[in-house]
């Protein structure tokens, strides 16, 4: 098995992983969107990672999806709404038993990706690390966090976890990755849409205690319904803890809307509402929140899918 890390999407998180793996001496190749992006990358001379005020450039080789070398291991670092199509383009290059690591937030896109590549192993990730793009090909490592990794179809850990340890990428393999992803999704649903609709920092939600509590109760019911009771445990307390601990922050969805960027709503609140309906248990307040958010996005000319 080739040990090269192909990285699809050199945005915030993809660049953060690529630079750390390259720095640890691992073979890394970026897969960029199209020949124009490849040319722009080549002109920049590599990816720059800024950490603690120090910038370091890494001249990581790059290609487009049209290259012909086989892919054994692929880190998918696109947004959830781009991932299935981007992976479909690479499907002919994936060897039998190729492994994909899916970094997407929310739920739904992982299954869409897996359906594109039935012969590959798909490892799901839930990341609390924070990175943002300062400019094209330049990423700032903002928030230390953690990466949970797991494969709902196979509890055996892959052998490349050693590469992550060598690259000081904090991680742990878990058989309960879906529980982690559902819990993160529920926290997001209880906080992010309300910060957009109330135009406030996370801490501003302390004034909307009842609304938050109602959403948490519905989210907990949904989690029980879809076989994730552990993800429901102490949900409201954790939501309140996060609101308090991150009171001065603007949520990621708030920032996306502020900057006119497409959100991942379809894979967060949208997914929660779809699953609730599928179980014949639509949740009135979640549904209403979703409708208000879609209207809010559409009024700003932003997609809601
Ligand atoms: P991002 O900065 O927008 O990067 C996404 C990258 O994907 C962009 O560079 C984009 O290319 C590229 N891309 C899209 N379609 C492509 C294609 N067909 N071929 C090649 N590249 C393609 O997004 P991000 O913030 O890294 O987020 C990625 C995922 O990680 C999201 O699901 C997010 O929720 C999750 N996440 C992010 C963070 C974080 O701190 N950033 C933390 C936890 C989880 P262009 O540059 O050409 O547009």
Per residue in 28-71, pLDDT (tens digit) is 999 999 999 999 999 999 999 999 999 999 999 999 999 999 99
- Cα distance between residue 261 and residue 300, in whole Å: 10
One domain, residues 117 and 47: yes
pLDDT of 144 over the 90 cut: no
Return all residues near 130 (Cβ < 8 A) that are at least 6 apart. 141, 142, 143, 144, 145
Q: Is the distance from the beta carbon of residue 171 to the nearest atom of ligand 1 less than 6 Å?
A: no
- Cα distance between residue 93 and residue 65, in whole Å: 9
Best residue for ligand 1 mutational test, from 6, 12, 127, 260 (most atoms within 8 Å of Cβ) = 12
- Cα distance between residue 288 and residue 267, in whole Å: 17
**Predicted local distance difference test score (pLDDT) of residue 143:** 79
Of 175, 208, 229, the last residue of a domain is 175
Residue with tokens 């383009």: 89
Considering only CA atoms, which residue is closest to atom 3 of ligand 1? Answer: 11
Tell me whether residue 240 is in a domain: yes
Kindly give the distance from the C-alpha atom of residue 11 to the centroid of ligand 1, in angstroms, as a whole number.
Answer: 5
Work out the percent of the chain whose per-residue pLDDT is above 70: 99
Return all residues near 168 (Cβ < 8 A) that are at least 6 apart. 20, 24
One domain, residues 186 and 254: yes
Tell me whether residue 249 is in a domain: yes
User: Within 10 Å of residue 171's Cβ, how many Cβ atoms?
Assistant: 16
Say if residues 90 and 65 touch (Cβ distance below 8 Å).
yes
Task: For residue 85, indicate whether it is catalytic.
Answer: no
Tell me whether residue 304 is in a domain: no
Tell me whether residue 294 is in a domain: yes
Tell me whether residue 19 is in a domain: yes
Kindly give the distance from the C-alpha atom of residue 182 to the centroid of ligand 1, in angstroms, as a whole number.
Answer: 20
Kindly give the distance from the C-alpha atom of residue 12 to the centroid of ligand 1, in angstroms, as a whole number.
Answer: 6
Say if residues 219 and 188 touch (Cβ distance below 8 Å).
no
Residue 275's Cβ-count burial label (10 Å; 0-12, 13-18, 19+) is buried
Nearest atom of ligand 1 to the alpha carbon of 65: 19
Kindly give the distance from the C-alpha atom of residue 191 to the centroid of ligand 1, in angstroms, as a whole number.
Answer: 22
Q: Is the distance from the beta carbon of residue 13 to the nearest atom of ligand 1 less than 6 Å?
A: yes
Kindly give the distance from the C-alpha atom of residue 255 to the centroid of ligand 1, in angstroms, as a whole number.
Answer: 15
One domain, residues 56 and 110: yes
Instruction: Tell me the pLDDT band of 2, cut-offs 50, 70 and 90.
Output: low
One domain, residues 203 and 291: yes
Q: Is the distance from the beta carbon of residue 6 to the nearest atom of ligand 1 less than 6 Å?
A: no
Work out the percent of the chain whose per-residue pLDDT is above 90: 97
One domain, residues 47 and 125: yes
Tokens in use for 22? 């390259």
Of 175, 210, 237, the last residue of a domain is 175
Tell me whether residue 155 is in a domain: yes
Number of structural domains found in the chain: 2
Q: Is the distance from the beta carbon of residue 64 to the nearest atom of ligand 1 less than 6 Å?
A: no
One domain, residues 20 and 162: yes
Enclosing domain of residue 160: 5-175
Tell me whether residue 305 is in a domain: no
Tokens in use for 127? 């990341």
Residues in the chain: 305
Q: Please state the rounded mean pLDDT for residues 247-269.
A: 97
pLDDT of 261 over the 80 cut: yes
One domain, residues 138 and 36: yes
Angle at 100 between CA 87 and CA 119, to 5 degrees: 80
Considering only CA atoms, which residue is closest to atom 32 of ligand 1? Answer: 104
Mind listing the pLDDT tens digit for each residue in 81-139? 999 999 999 999 999 999 999 999 999 999 999 999 999 999 999 999 999 998 999 99
Considering only CA atoms, which residue is closest to atom 8 of ligand 1? Answer: 11
* CATH number of the domain residue 134 falls in: 3.40.50.720
Nearest atom of ligand 1 to the alpha carbon of 267: 32
pTM: 0.97
Tell me whether residue 47 is in a domain: yes
Average pLDDT, the chain: 97
Q: Is the distance from the beta carbon of residue 164 to the nearest atom of ligand 1 less than 6 Å?
A: no
Residue 231, CB-side half-sphere exposure with 13 Å CA sphere:
24
Q: Is 166 helix (H, G, I), strand (E, B) or coil?
A: helix
Q: Is the distance from the beta carbon of residue 31 to the nearest atom of ligand 1 less than 6 Å?
A: yes
Best residue for ligand 1 mutational test, from 78, 249, 266 (most atoms within 8 Å of Cβ) = 78
Of 175, 199, 229, the last residue of a domain is 175
Q: Estimate to the nearest angstrom the gap between the alpha carbon of 49 and the chain centroid.
A: 19
List the beta bridge partners of residue 74: 6, 100
**Predicted local distance difference test score (pLDDT) of residue 1:** 57
Return all residues near 256 (Cβ < 8 A) that are at least 6 apart. 262, 263
List the beta bridge partners of residue 12: none
């Amino acid at each position: 098995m080739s040990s090269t890390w192909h990285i699809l999407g050199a945005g915030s998180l993809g660049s953060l992983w690529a630079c750390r793996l390259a720095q640890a001496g691992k073979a890394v190749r970026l897969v960029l969107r199209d020949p124009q992006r490849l040319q722009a990358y080549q002109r920049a001379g590599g990816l720059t990672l800024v950490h603690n005020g120090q910038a370091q450039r890494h001249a990581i080789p790059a290609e487009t999806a049209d290259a012909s070398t086989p892919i054994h291991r692929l880190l998918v670092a696109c947004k959830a709404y781009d991932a299935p199509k981007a992976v479909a383009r690479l499907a002919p290059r994936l060897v039998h038993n190729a492994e994909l690591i899916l970094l997407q937030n929310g739920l739904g896109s992982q299954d869409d990706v897996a359906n594109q590549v039935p012969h590959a192993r798909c490892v799901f990730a839930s990341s609390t690390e924070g990175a943002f793009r300062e400019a094209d090909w330049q990423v700032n490592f903002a928030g230390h966090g953690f990466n949970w990794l797991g494969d709902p179809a196979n509890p055996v850990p892959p052998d490349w976890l050693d590469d992550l340890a060598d690259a000081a990428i904090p991680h742990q393999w878990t058989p309960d990755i879906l529980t982690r992803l559902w819990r993160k999704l529920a926290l997001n649903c209880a906080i992010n849409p309300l910060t957009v609709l109330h135009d406030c920092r996370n801490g501003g939600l302390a004034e909307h205690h009842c609304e938050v509590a109602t959403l948490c109760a519905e989210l907990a019911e949904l989690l029980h319904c879809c076989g994730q009771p552990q993800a429901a445990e102490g949900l409201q307390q954790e939501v309140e803890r996060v609101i308090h601990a991150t009171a001065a922050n603007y949520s990621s969805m708030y920032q996306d809307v502020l900057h006119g960027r497409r959100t991942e709503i379809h894979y967060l609140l949208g997914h929660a509402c779809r699953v609730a309906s599928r179980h014949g248990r639509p949740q009135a307040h979640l549904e209403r929140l979703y409708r208000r958010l879609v209207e809010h996005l559409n009024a700003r000319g932003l997609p809601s899918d």
